[in-house]
A and B are shown apart, each in its own frame.
Chain A
Amino acid sequence: MPMTITEKILAKASGRKEVAPGDIVEARVDVAMAHDLTAPLAIDSFRKMGAKRVWDPERVVLLFDHQTPASSIDAAMNHRMIREFAREQNIKHFYDMFAGVCHAVLPERGFAQPGRVVIGADSHSVTYGAFNCFATGVGSTDMAAIFATGKLWFRVPESILVTANGSLKPPVVSKDLILHIIGDFGMDGATYKAVEFKGETFSNMSMDARMTVCNMVVEMGGKNGVMEADTITQQYLEERGVKSVNPVTSDPDAQYVETREYDASALDPQVACPHSVDNVKSVREVEGIEVDQAFIGTCTNGRLEDLEIAAKILKGRRVSARVRLIVVPATYEVYRQALERGLLKIFVDAGALVESPGCGACMGCHIGVVGPGEVSISASNRNFKGRQGSPESEVYLASPATVAASAVEGKITDPREMYG
């Protein structure tokens, strides 16, 4: 029976020759991750289950990224609880607050590899699908079940095929394309389904850009996003000490419940308007809306390529006096590279606030909380009402280039006017 990438990975992980959409399988998990806001409940559930040891201390990754350094006594207590658990269980890959955003850290350290099952207690765990693995998010009690048994049940999802052709014209980037796709599908257009990305637009992208695409699959309801592995994937992994990879491909006659095609060459910069991620418009339609806060960072757009394009726009310019621009490199590796390449100097010279790696202003509980009546433009992934702070605030989602240009002008601005 012909199978998709997702079906093949789940079949192998559950010890079956083949699986079909709708099958319930118990899959072996290769890597399990939890962070400072989901690990405490997972540890609670783990203990209440009566479990004593994690199934494999080398396959668990624990780190802090949502509230680092601790933003409150409660956050500090969560950190302490996780530290003690990591020590007690001899968790090999425990990074405390010295690594960065989980979804940028795991790929950097070579955990996301073709054919693997990588599960995180965080919805944006779908990011890792850019590396040709099955990756999805679960809640804390499911994570506790993985900690205890190394396995979890999944319903094999139907697959959707999304193809894109043509080259994106900088400063239009992969974020603009995935926002456009989400606007087209709607925020539940892919619920429970695997979304497979194919075509020259994606194969011409760097791993940084591909991760942005897969990262946002959950914003259209998708269970996982997945791409093929190619020389760009292999080179990225080789640089991180992964010697051999075994790419998984979909069979030519594999079944898709839906297929959509996009032309990337004609795309304008895109903006998702309040209060839903599928309320997507061309930047031209919303130009001129005044903003109070601008934010570049997160698992969606806090990697080196994202900071580079923002720096290109900010170099020699000043952030508007009415705006606070917050820049948060996703990881310490990104931070160090941005430092070495002079990007952080450009940000500071432009009047930006550069913060230490973490989730930053994304979810309204730490750095850069937005107040009532304020408007935020953000290179993150969610703009639900109250997401970045007050329920009376508004969040516009855009690419790092659009956020940088808007920070300079103090209002939503087409980055093409400042690029090149």
Chain B
Amino acid sequence: MAKAWVYGDHVSTDDIIAGRYLAKHDPQEWGRHAMENIDPEFSKRVSPGDVIVAGRDFGCGSSREQAPIALKAAGISAVVAESFARIFYRNAINQGLPVLTCPGIRKEFRNGDEIEIDLKGGVVRNLSAGKEFKVSPLPPFIMEILEAGGLVSHLKKKLEGKR
């Protein structure tokens, strides 16, 4: 069962993956240091499929695409937040990591609650609390990128089509 990892407002890209790890070109290494500045236990205890639930402005700060790559490599399958910083939001979509906006969601989860996400239906469920929440649906062209697994595969198809 997927667990929720709950964080506050303004989780920065320095929190998600610190600058000191960026030069080493290795997603697994980034995954091992994910969230280290604010939660050194995260990478040791996270399980594949887990979801981050956060407050406002998730992913603020730098343009480093290593941030969503680190979360994916650590096993995170989606991030649900009250709002996202714009570059992180684009980078997550481009990496095929679903990012869902849901005002008020943070107080509905405690760390470790069981969580389920229905991306197409636009629903987030807290199975531990027996509650469900509607999320703002993603625009169709963003769903297309996500369904292709990210911008690289999406554009690859487009570029091949042109040849």
Contacts and interface: CB of A to CB of B under 8 A. Distances in A.
A192 B86 contact: yes
A56 B62 CA distance: 26
B61 A382 contact: yes
Contacts, number: 134
Contact of A122 (B22, B62, B91): B62
A385 B38 contact: yes
A91 B153 CA distance: 25
B65 A122 contact: no
B20 interface: yes
A389 B19 CA distance: 8
Given A41-B65, A49-B152, A77-B25, A221 B95 contact: no
A191 B94 contact: no
Interface string B12-33: 1011001110111100000000
Interface stretch (B107-115, B116-124, B126-134, B154-162): B154-162
Contacts of B62: 122-123, 363, 382
A121 interface: yes
Nearest to A188: B57
A286 B13 CA distance: 27
Given A139-B64, A221-B57, A385-B38, A364 B159 contact: no
Nearest to A120: B63
A71 B24 CA distance: 12
Interface in A66-97: 67, 71-72, 74-75, 77-78
**Which of the four size classes fits the interface of chain B?**
35 or more
A141 B151 contact: yes
Contacts of A72: 23
A384 B12 CA distance: 7
Residue with the highest number of chain B CB atoms closer than 10 Å, among A41, A51, A71, A223: A41
A41 B23 CA distance: 10
A187 B14 contact: no
Contacts of B155: 49, 145, 148-149
B156 A139 contact: no
A241 interface: no
Given A50-B156, A141-B150, 18 more contacts: A38-B64, A38-B65, A78-B23, A120-B63, A123-B61, A123-B63, A125-B63, A138-B90, A139-B94, A141-B152, A145-B151, A148-B159, A187-B10, A276-B10, A363-B62, A382-B62, A384-B14, A391-B37
